[in-house]
Chain A
Amino acid sequence: MAVNWLHKLAARGSVPVFPVLGINGAGALRHLVLSPHIELVDSPRHASVLLVAGEIPADRFEPLRRVHDQLPYPFTTLWFRSEPWPHLERVARIDALDDLPDALVKAHREQMEGRRGSAHRLLPDKPPNPWEGEGDFGQGGEGMMGGVPYGRPMAMNMEDDIRDGLTLDSLTFRLGPFFFAFPPGMAAEITLQGDLVETWKTQFAPYPQPLDEVFFNAHERPVPIAEAELARARHHLQRLFHALHLAGLENVSLRALRLAHGLSTSSTLDGLRRALSRSGFFRLTAGGGALGPEQARMIGGPAARATGMDDDLRSEDAGYRRLGFSPVCQAEGDTHARWRQLLDEIDQSLHLARLAERDKVHTERLDNIETPRGPWSERQPADASALFDELLPGLEWGDALATVASLDVAALADQAVGTQPSGESRAARGGNGNDV
C-alpha cells in the first residue's frame, strides 16, 4: 500500500534522467536543463530514465550496454535522434527537440504507475570477472594482499610516490565515454595515486562538435559580424555552463545558459561576472594545467590567447579592423587564465556585435575564419585531446577535471548546428523563433 502511494508521489515529481550523449547530443542536454519537471543526474544510479541523445558510434556500444544496465530497476529508455537497437523492446525514438521533455515525463509517469514495463537488462547477471579469491571473502591466497577476488587484483603500490613520500596505491581504470565531466564521447585510461593523476591516456577522442552555421556561411559569403560575434559569445557561454555545472554551482550555471539562450546585442556580462566572483569559481579553478607554447599552438583559439599569443584571424579581416578589433590576451596560460580569457572574449564579442549592428559591418575574408574553437584557414581545427596525456599527470583529480573542462579540445564537425532536422538552433536563440 505504502509502495503504491510512494509510486504515485514519484510519478508526479520531477523526472531523473541520465543523459548518454551521442554525436550532437549536447544541444538536447542544454535544452533539457532549462525544462521544468526534468532533473538531469550525473550518475545512472540516480536516474529512472536513460536518454540516449544523438547517434552513438559502434565502438561505444559496449560502454553504453554497461551504463544501460546500471540504472536501478525499474527504468525506461528513450532514444533521441538515434536508432534504437533492434533487440530492445518497448523503446521509443523521438526526433523533435520540443517534444523531448514531454516524452520523458510521459515515459516516467507510465513507468511509475505500472502501465509500462521496465527495460530489460542487456548484460548477463553474473560477475564481470569470475570469482578467483580464496576463502569466503577473498581473504586467502598468496602475498600480503590475498588472492584476486572477482578476477581483479587489489590495488597495489606499483610506482614510487610522486608527491610527498607517503606511499599510496595506484588505481588504474578507464573512464568514459559517458562521463559527465568529460567532453561528450571522450574516454581515457587513468592511473591515480591517491588523488594525484599518475598517468592519463586518452582512448577515445571526443565527438566532433557542431558549430553555429554562421561560421560555415562565412566561408562562402560575407556574413554580418554581429551575427558571428553573438554566435561566438553563445558558444563560450555554453562551455562556461558545463564547467559551472561540473563545479557544482548549479544556479550560476543556469544563469550562464539562460544568458546564452537569450543573447542579443543588448546583453551584458556584468551580472554573471559578479555572480562568478561571489560563487568562488575563480578560486576553484586557481592554478594548474598551464599550456606550453607548443601545446598552445596545437590547440589554438582562446586557450592559445590565454597563454599570451595574440594570434587571431579576425585581425586580418578588414571588417573587424574597421571596428577597431585587437585580440585580448592573458599571460599565465593556466585554467584560471583560460576562464578569464573566455569572459573577456565574450565581453569583446558583445561589444563588437553592438558596433557591427549599428554600422551594418560584414566579414570580408572568406578563407581565414576565427571560429570560437580556433583558427580555420586551410583546414578546420583538429582534435587536441591527446594534449591531456602530457598536461594532466601530476595534477590533483579536482584540478585535472577543471583543466579538462577549461580546454575546448573537440574537433569541428563538418555540419553546422542549424542544418539539423529540428529547432535546436531556434531554441538556442531564445526559443521564440526570431533570428538574432
Chain B
Amino acid sequence: MELFALLIILILALSAGLLMQWLPIRHRPRPSWSQRVPFLGGGTPDSHAWSRYHIRYYSMTLLLIAFEMEMMFMYPWAVVFVEKGMKAMMEMGMFLAILSVGIVYAWREGVFKWQ
C-alpha cells in the first residue's frame, strides 16, 4: 500500500513537471536549420564537433570517487559499530589506511597539479 502511494506521488510529480515544460513550447515551431548549426560568430565548421577531447580533471575525479566510496562505507559501518565495538573500529582503520596510501601515492604522482 505504501509503495502504491509512492508510485502515485511519483507519477503525479513527473506529469506536473512534464506539463510545465510542455505548456510553453506547444505552439513553438521547430528551430530552423540555420539556428541549429553551432554559433561561430558568422563562421562555419569543417567537421562535426563530436571529437575526442582531453578532460583534464579526470584524475581528480577518480580521486573524488575514492573519497566518496570511503564515506559510503562508513554509513553501514556506523550502524554495526555499536554492536561490534573495537573490532569494527580496527577494520575501518585498516580500510582507511589502505585508501589513504592510494591518495598519498596519487599526490606524489602529481594528480593535484593542474597541468
A in complex with B: yes
Beta-carbon nearest neighbor of B27 in chain A? A3
In the assembled complex, A153 has its CB within 8 A of some CB on chain B:
yes
A67 B44 Cβ-Cβ under 8 A: no
In the assembled complex, A85 has its CB within 8 A of some CB on chain B:
no
In the assembled complex, B1 has its CB within 8 A of some CB on chain A:
no
Measured between alpha carbons, how far is A182 from B42 in the docked complex, in Å?
Answer: 12
Q: Mark A415-432, 1 if CB is under 8 A from B, else 0.
A: 000000000000000000
Which of A123-131, A294-302, A318-326, A374-382 lines the interface with chain B?
A123-131
In the assembled complex, B21 has its CB within 8 A of some CB on chain A:
no
Interface of A is mostly: loop
Interface size on B, residues (CB 8 A): 29
Beta-carbon nearest neighbor of A189 in chain B? B43
Measured between alpha carbons, how far is A121 from B31 in the docked complex, in Å?
Answer: 11
Interface residue ranges of B20-65 to A (CB < 8 Å):
23-24, 27-29, 31-35, 37, 39-54, 56
* Given known A2-B24, A176-B41, A195-B54, contact A155–B33 (CB-CB < 8 A): no
The listed residue (A45, A154, A195) touching B47 by CB distance below 8 A is A154
A66 B48 Cβ-Cβ under 8 A: no
A residues in contact with B41, CB < 8 Å: 63, 67, 175-180, 182, 187
A residues in contact with B37, CB < 8 Å: 66, 70, 128
In the assembled complex, A64 has its CB within 8 A of some CB on chain B:
yes
Beta-carbon nearest neighbor of B31 in chain A? A72
B residues in contact with A187, CB < 8 Å: 41-43
Beta-carbon nearest neighbor of B55 in chain A? A194
State the Cβ distance, B110 to closest chain A Cβ, in Å.
Answer: 13
State the Cβ distance, A143 to closest chain B Cβ, in Å.
Answer: 14
In the assembled complex, A29 has its CB within 8 A of some CB on chain B:
no
Interface residue ranges of A16-48 to B (CB < 8 Å):
43-45
A127 B33 Cβ-Cβ under 8 A: yes
State the Cβ distance, A120 to closest chain B Cβ, in Å.
Answer: 11
Measured between alpha carbons, how far is A170 from B54 in the docked complex, in Å?
Answer: 12
A residues in contact with B115, CB < 8 Å: 164
Measured between alpha carbons, how far is A310 from B71 in the docked complex, in Å?
Answer: 60
A residues in contact with B29, CB < 8 Å: 73
B33 A72 Cβ-Cβ under 8 A: no
Measured between alpha carbons, how far is A167 from B53 in the docked complex, in Å?
Answer: 9
A residues in contact with B23, CB < 8 Å: 2-3
A residues in contact with B27, CB < 8 Å: 3
The listed residue (A126, A152, A180) touching B46 by CB distance below 8 A is A152
State the Cβ distance, B31 to closest chain A Cβ, in Å.
Answer: 7
Measured between alpha carbons, how far is A70 from B38 in the docked complex, in Å?
Answer: 9
In the assembled complex, A251 has its CB within 8 A of some CB on chain B:
no
B residues in contact with A6, CB < 8 Å: 24
Measured between alpha carbons, how far is A182 from B48 in the docked complex, in Å?
Answer: 23
Measured between alpha carbons, how far is A343 from B45 in the docked complex, in Å?
Answer: 38
A155 B43 Cβ-Cβ under 8 A: no
A residues in contact with B46, CB < 8 Å: 152-153, 171-173
Measured between alpha carbons, how far is A180 from B41 in the docked complex, in Å?
Answer: 8
B residues in contact with A98, CB < 8 Å: none
State the Cβ distance, B112 to closest chain A Cβ, in Å.
Answer: 17
A residues in contact with B33, CB < 8 Å: 125-128
State the Cβ distance, A126 to closest chain B Cβ, in Å.
Answer: 6
The listed residue (B31, B34, B52, B53) touching A128 by CB distance below 8 A is B34
Q: In this complex, which of B24, B28, B51, B115 has the most chain A Cβ atoms within 10 angstroms of its Cβ?
A: B51
- Of all A-B residue pairs in the complex, the 7 with the closest CB atoms, nearest first, are A63-B42, A179-B41, A174-B43, A155-B51, A169-B51, A69-B34, A173-B45
| Contact surface of A with B, Cβ cutoff 8 Å | 2-3, 6, 43-45, 60, 62-64, 66-67, 69-73, 121, 123, 125-128, 149-150, 152-157, 164, 166-180, 182, 187, 194-195
Given A73-B32, A154-B50, A173-B40, 9 other A-B residues pairs in contact with their CB atoms under 8 A: A2-B23, A45-B39, A64-B42, A152-B47, A155-B49, A166-B54, A171-B45, A172-B47, A176-B43
Query: Could you write out 10 A-B pairs with CB less than 8 Å apart?
Result: A66-B44, A73-B32, A153-B46, A154-B48, A155-B51, A172-B47, A178-B41, A182-B41, A194-B53, A195-B56
